[in-house]
């Protein structure tokens, strides 16, 4: 694994194909893959047809009870380690593809997205060897007893639908435990970010993953591959990360087949800044939690609540931090923030900015589109933006924006801060900044979220449960929690 500027974008000007039953295939329909930095076409993508989706699901079904389950856990895990090695062997290509698709910085792609993708395969390959089972001795009337024990069986054919913000990282976060536990998969990456999934199919093919175990179909959601997969009668489980509204649609589509579901959905995450915090650390941490990846991370902070005695000072410090963010070319090592994923998404974010202004928000900084004087003006950039002065009922405070935006609100007491943070239809993550350890424990445990950080943000242990409540999701991922979702425990009773 080498750090440096990528030399070329894989498949630039070419075709990204589907991968079905061990073969790369195209069809009759194509769509363009657009670079959000300058609006140019990177390559074209084959959109899978219904027949191709059916073929992918059938291939996965055949491999499930055939070649894949005939391998021992050790053999499956050895293959997953080879996949991790294969990602690292083509590290620069994955980095280049990720940057071209998303516009994210070289630093983020090199230090987070691609390394974590390889790490996911190794982590779950090792974890599945320690997956627990139960065993009980049961009394019987004849005094001889019975032995009840459980075995973990794969849940079946899994549809993995991945998002565009962390395309490879979140795809492998689902794919690795699904394969480690003996399932077969059909994956659908976002139509916005198809490249790294295609490279991953090439790695799977090269390292000898048996045909049918891993299948890739490109396309869209409604009236395309996404709907075809979630409605398919031979799909046993669906795992999805993305918008809450899309999650609701998938739940409705999957209900007829009573499929197992795992959803990590949207967030409207809050940060609570108490007056006794380490001020510089709280400002730096909140800058990260608001503006990382252009705010396009489900864990990013959009609502910031600050104790009144330090409110003005904190707003001024955040303004200084936001205005110092360098928006630039992804390949420049000092670039802090790239574009949003698409012009369509930029239009959505700008509509929230317009609504905030119409509601009387005070613009602390940003609130518009940057001008570069070069081809980046054709990209999907938005300025880092901070607002104050809105009510909690405003559109900006109620709905997920998913952009480089936050609103800062003062509070007067711990009880008020907790109430403000929890007054949301979402419940994914929260951050608490205080040097009072008792308060940190107390407030974190009161947050109606799946993940709460005290004096940090995005500090992850991959063994811990990850997920949300309310509109933010169903189920938990991470460590044994992921393995449990992709496994079906079966009880065996032996009369002694």
Contact 163, 155 (CB under 8 A): no
Extended strands (E) in 53-178: 135-138, 146-154, 157-161
DSSP state of 330: T
Residue 305 half-sphere exposure, CB side, CA atoms within 13 Å? 25
Q: Is 264 assigned a catalytic role?
A: yes
C-alpha span between 298 and 304 (Å, rounded)? 16
Contact 175, 160 (CB under 8 A): yes
C-alpha span between 232 and 257 (Å, rounded)? 8
The neighbouring-strand residues paired with 214 are 185
Closest to 131 measured CA to CA, from 450, 495, 488: 488
Two tokens, residue 448: 């109606």
Q: In this structure, what are the phi and psi dihedrals at residue 489, rounded to the nearest 5 degrees?
A: -75, 135
Contact 15, 44 (CB under 8 A): yes
CA torsion through residues 193, 199, 201, 203, sign: negative
C-alpha span between 444 and 433 (Å, rounded)? 10
Q: Which of 47, 92, 264, 400 is catalytic?
A: 264
CA torsion through residues 44, 344, 423, 255, sign: negative
The neighbouring-strand residues paired with 160 are 187, 239
- Tell the residue number behind the tokens 């045909």, with chain if given: 211
CA torsion through residues 338, 341, 344, 345, sign: negative
Q: Which of 77, 298, 300, 406 is catalytic?
A: 298
Q: Is 88 assigned a catalytic role?
A: no
Closest to 167 measured CA to CA, from 151, 150, 141, 187: 187
Residue 443 half-sphere exposure, CB side, CA atoms within 13 Å? 29
Q: Which long-range contacts (CB under 8 A, 24 or more apart) does 139-145 make?
A: 140/495, 140/496, 144/495, 144/496, 145/496
- Give the H/E segment covering residue 408: strand 405-411
Two tokens, residue 217: 């179909």
C-alpha span between 161 and 151 (Å, rounded)? 28
Let me know if 68 is exposed, middle or buried by CB neighbors in 10 A (0-12, 13-18, 19+).
buried
- Active-site residue numbers? 264, 298
């Amino acid at each position: 694994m080498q750090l440096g500027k990528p030399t070329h974008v894989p498949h630039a000007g070419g075709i990204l194909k589907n991968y079905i039953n061990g073969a790369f295939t195209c069809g009759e329909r194509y769509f363009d893959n657009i670079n959000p930095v300058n609006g140019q076409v990177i390559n074209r993508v084959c959109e899978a047809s219904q027949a191709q989706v059916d073929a992918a699901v059938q291939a996965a079904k055949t491999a499930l009870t055939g070649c894949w389950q005939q391998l021992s856990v050790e053999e499956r895990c050895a293959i997953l380690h080879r996949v991790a090695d294969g990602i690292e062997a083509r590290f620069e290509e994955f980095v280049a593809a990720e940057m071209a698709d998303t516009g994210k910085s070289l630093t983020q792609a090199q230090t987070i997205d691609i390394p974590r993708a390889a790490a996911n395969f190794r982590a779950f390959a090792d974890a599945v060897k320690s997956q627990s089972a139960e065993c009980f001795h049961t009394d019987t009337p004849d005094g001889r007893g019975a032995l009840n024990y459980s075995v973990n069986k794969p849940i079946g054919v899994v549809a993995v639908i991945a998002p565009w913000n962390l395309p490879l990282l979140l795809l492998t976060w689902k794919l690795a435990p699904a394969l480690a536990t003996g399932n077969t998969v059909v994956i659908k990456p976002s139509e916005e970010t198809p490249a790294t999934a295609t490279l991953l199919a090439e790695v799977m093919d090269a390292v000898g993953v048996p045909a049918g175990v891993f299948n890739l179909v490109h396309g869209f959601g409604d009236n395309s591959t996404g709907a075809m997969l979630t409605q398919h009668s031979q799909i046993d489980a669906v795992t999805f990360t993305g918008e809450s509204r899309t999650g609701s649609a998938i739940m409705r589509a999957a209900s007829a087949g009573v499929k197992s579901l795992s959803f990590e959905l949207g967030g409207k995450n809050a940060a609570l800044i108490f007056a006794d915090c380490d001020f510089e650390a709280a400002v730096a941490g909140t800058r990260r939690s608001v503006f990382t990846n252009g705010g396009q991370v489900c864990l990013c902070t959009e609502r910031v609540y600050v104790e009144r005695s330090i409110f003005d000072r904190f707003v001024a410090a955040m303004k200084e931090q936001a205005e110092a963010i360098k928006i630039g070319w992804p390949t420049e090592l000092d670039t802090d923030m790239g574009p949003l994923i698409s012009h369509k998404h930029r239009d959505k974010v700008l509509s929230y900015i317009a609504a905030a202004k119409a509601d009387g928000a005070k613009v602390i900084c940003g609130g518009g589109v940057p001008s570069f004087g070069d081809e980046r003006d054709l990209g999907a950039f938005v300025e880092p933006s901070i607002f104050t002065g809105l009510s909690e009922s405003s559109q900006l405070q109620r709905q997920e924006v998913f952009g480089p935006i936050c609103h800062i609100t003062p509070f007067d007491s711990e009880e008020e801060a907790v109430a403000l943070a929890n007054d949301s239809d979402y419940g994914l993550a929260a951050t608490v900044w205080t040097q009072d350890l008792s308060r940190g424990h107390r407030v974190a445990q009161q947050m109606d979220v799946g993940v709460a950080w005290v004096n940090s943000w995005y500090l992850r242990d991959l063994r811990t449960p990850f997920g949300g409540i309310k509109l933010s999701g169903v189920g938990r991922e991470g460590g044994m929690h992921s393995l449990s979702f992709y496994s079906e425990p079966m009880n065996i009773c032996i009369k002694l």
